[in-house]
Amino acid sequence: MKLLKISAVAALACVLTVSINAEETKPKRELKANMNVVYNQLPPAAENITDAFANGMFYGRLRANAFQWDWETADNATNKDNKAFGLGGSLVYKSAPLYGTSITTSLYYSSSPFADMREDEADATYVKSGKDTFSRYNVKEIGDWEMAVLAEAYVQYNIGKTDIKLGRQIFESALTASNDTKMIPNTFEGISIESKDVPQTTLKAAYLTAQKLRDHTTFHDVITFNDGTSNWNNNDDSGVHQGISYANLKAAGKDVDNSLVVVAASNKSIPNLTMDVTYTAVPELISSVIGELNYKIPVGDFTITPGVRYMQQMDDGAGAVGGASLNGGLATWTTGDTKGYKDAKSLESSLVMARLVVNYGALKVMGGYSKVADEGDIVAPWRNFPTGGYTRAMAQLNWKANAETMMGEVAYDFGKAKILKGFSTMARYAIQGSDEAKQAAGGQADLSIIHVDLKQQINPQLDAKFRVAIVDSEKRILGSSAGTDVDTYNEYRFELNYLF
């Protein structure tokens, strides 16, 4: 492990000294704006099993991430200013397809090697966004600030325009995502299928038996919080429902080994109209249906795209186990104070969103709105966000009951405009209104957020990104934090990515 850490540091140093002047040819892989990887080159088909492995391709990635989080009200039992730094990368191998069958394996590594750029072990629990550079469980239990994990390992079969994958994999859908913006992506174990054989249509389905979050080195249950020994050994995503815990599921006679079922369709058969529908379920606990329409209207050199998204969440038993609030405070409720929720033991809910996107050359302008029903909180701990693309700004969880958000976004690609090669920027301003009556059950105070991204592609293989979020919140009026401002903070992130 120590040798791997030293090698990663040395390799990154070499990359940064030579790559700026490297010849700008199209690389084997490129990064999308959301930091997902696009493969430009894949191994050619093989004629025998020897060639299938010999003609396979390796893909490398070196990356570094730095974080600084400054609270307005810090140094108390809840909030402490915190920092983090991660250095590492990944090595992916794809075999050449033989009769349509191939394998992919991806080894990921992350280290926090510099003590003065991270928190000490005692304060690791306070780290916010930077927690994905290390495993909190490993740090607290054995003082290990490194992660190494085989996050992808799957067999793929391709026939026509249909791909079937079995094993550890990334699966993107309305509520599931790799969310690969830190060091190691969010991945799943299971089987999936994606088909484009139907004209103008993409069909997806998955049966996922386990999940590995970005700061974990092991795969775990897709929804259960806590594994009976630690809060950090099962699903501890920021959006997890803490009431759907190991202890509560056991007490209710429910399974603690759950699966995630996803079925999705996207259709573009009507000119300029994209129609999407996704069904997501943890059987016998929670399910949802998301429908979305986006219609692109050309107007001279502009395109105007109105869009709407609607989510209906169905409670299939999870509310009785964990209660209506994501923080789990209503899990043991029987009578009395419902902490602002109309039904303390129901997760029935819905979410409506609308947006208008205007594109003009290098410029993109968007306005979005979202409103959660005054029912249960939305359950979505699989790293794609119910309000993403409409009203979600960086690090915000704005899908709790009765939350209302308005957001404006402006993005400009200076490279596309031939002003500054490789440089692009994006700025968002969001106003989030929360239900004050639910603050005792984990609800936030009303707040506004300014979120800015600055990205520079140094060459086709090397990217740098700086991100900042400035959050201004009102004081909370209920719960243990009543009368104080525990939601205002500034956050800063810096990221380097080199693909080879």
Q: What is the DSSP letter of 98?
A: B
For residue 251, pLDDT over 80 is answered with yes
pLDDT at site 23? 44
As a whole number, the mean pLDDT across the chain is 94
As a whole number, mean pLDDT of residues 89-112 equals 98
Q: Which domains does the chain have, with CATH numbers?
A: 2-499 (2.40.160.10)
Angle at 53 between CA 94 and CA 205, to 5 degrees: 40
pLDDT value for 242: 98
First to last CA, the chain: 22
Contact 207, 190 (CB under 8 A): yes
Q: Which of 30-34, 39-43, 366-370, 426-430 has the lowest mean pLDDT?
A: 30-34
Q: What is the pLDDT of residue 345?
A: 98
CA nearest neighbour of 104 among 168, 184, 181? 168
Phi, psi of 4 (to 5 degrees): -65, -40
Band of residue 16 on the pLDDT scale cut at 50, 70, 90: very low
Query: What's 245's DSSP letter?
Result: B
User: Which amino acid would we find at residue 319?
Assistant: G
Helix runs in 285-435, H state only: 318-322
Write out pLDDT tens, residues 116-160: 999 999 999 999 999 999 999 999 999 999 999 999 999 999 999
In angstroms, the Cα distances linking 235 to 3, 172, 244, 297, 316 are 31, 18, 10, 41, 19
Name the pTM for this structure: 0.93
Q: Which two tokens stand for residue 187?
A: 């991945």
